[in-house]
Amino acid sequence: LTGHSDEVKCLAKLTLDDIDKYLLSGSDDATIKVWDIDQTKCIKTLKEHTNTVTELITFKDDGRDYFASCSLDLTIKVWDTLNFVSLFTLTGHKGFSSSLSSTFNNGKLFIVSSSQGEVKVWDFKERTVFKSIISKSRWSQNTLFKYCELVLLVDADFDIQT
- In contact, 25 and 36? CB cutoff 8 Å: no
Q: What is the pLDDT of residues 97-109, one digit of tens each?
A: 556 666 555 567 7
Does the predicted TM-score (pTM) go above 0.85? no
Is residue 158's pLDDT more than 70?
Answer: no
Determine the Cα angle at 123 with ends 46 and 115, to 5°: 65
Interior CA angle at 58 toward 69 and 62, to 5°? 120
pLDDT tens digits, 39-64: 999 999 999 999 999 989 888 888 88
